[in-house]
Amino acid sequence: MACDSIFRANVRFENALYKPGNMETFIDAVDAMGFQFEDNVQLYRKHLPSGTALVIWPKGENRTTFNSVLYRNGQFRIPSTLEQRFTLERVQTAYAMQSAKQSAKRNGWQFVQTSETEFEFRQREPSTRRWNPVPSPQPSNETRSNMSDVIKGTILKGGLVKLETDRVSAPNHMSADRLVKMFTESLGGEITVERKKVHAHIHDHDHLTEGH
C-alpha cells in the first residue's frame, strides 16, 4: 500500500450488492437509517441474485404503497412521501460507514466515526517492535511503539469516498493494505489512487511490499 496517498472510490450498489458479504452490510446500513426490509431479505444476506427486488419501509410503520422504497439492480424508486427521509446519498453514506466498520473489524483495526460523513481507521504499532539503540533525530522505536497509525476517510457528495494515508508503520503495513483493499472494493465503484505531494518525507521503516 502506498503511504502518503489518496484513494477514491464510489458507492455503486449495482456492483457491490452482488458480491458475497456486501448484502449483509447493506441490510445493516438500512437498519441504521431507521428502515426495514421484508422478512425474505434474510434469504439474501450472503448474496443478492441479479434482478431481485427489495422493498424497504420505515420501522414502526405498516407497509403501504406510499411509504415503500423499491430497490432493483442498483436503482431506488422512492415515493414522494419519503424523499426527505430516504435519499440515494443518505443510503450511500450509511452503507459506506457500515462497510468501513466491518472492514476495520475483519482486519484488526479500530473504526472511529468522527462526524456524520467522516471516520478514521486506527491501529497502534505493536509494542514488540525492535528497539534501536542508535541515536536518531526521529523518535526512537521504543517511543514510537505508543504512537498510532491513522487512515482518514471522508464520504463526499454523490457517494464518493476518499481515504487518505500518511506514513504507515512497517508492522501495520500488510494489514493496512488489506484493509484499504477490502473497504474500497466493497463500495462497488472504480478505485483510483493518487500520491500526495510530500516535500520532506523521511522513512525510518522497512518496506514490506514492492512499489511503496
Distance from C-alpha of 99 to C-alpha of 186, rounded to nearest angstrom: 7
Segments of the chain assigned E as strands: 5-11, 35-37, 53-58, 69-72, 75-77, 110-113, 118-124, 148-155, 160-165, 188-195
Look at residue 45 in the predicted model and tell me its pLDDT. 85
Look at residue 205 in the predicted model and tell me its pLDDT. 45
Radius of gyration of the chain (CA): 20
Residue 151 lies in a domain: yes
Q: Higher model confidence: residue 132 or residue 42? A: 42
Q: Specify whether the CB–CB gap between 10 and 159 falls below 8 A.
A: yes
Residue 205 lies in a domain: no
Other beta carbons less than 10 A from residue 163's beta carbon? 22
Q: At residue 203, what is the residue type?
A: H
Mean pLDDT score of the chain: 86
Confidence grade of residue 203 (pLDDT, cut at 50, 70, 90): very low
Residue 209 lies in a domain: no
Query: Residue 123 pLDDT more than 60?
Result: yes
Look at residue 79 in the predicted model and tell me its pLDDT. 96
Q: At residue 172, what is the residue type?
A: N
| Region of poorest pLDDT, from 42-51, 78-87, 88-97, 192-201 | 192-201
Q: Would residue 51 be called left, alpha or beta, if left means φ above 0 and alpha means ψ between -120 and 50 degrees?
A: left
- Per-residue pLDDT, averaged over 181-210, amounts to 74
- Per-residue pLDDT, averaged over 69-93, amounts to 95
Residue 78 belongs to domain spanning: 5-195
Give the count of domains, the chain: 1
Cell (9 digits) for 98:
457500515
Residue 123 lies in a domain: yes
Q: Record the pTM.
A: 0.83
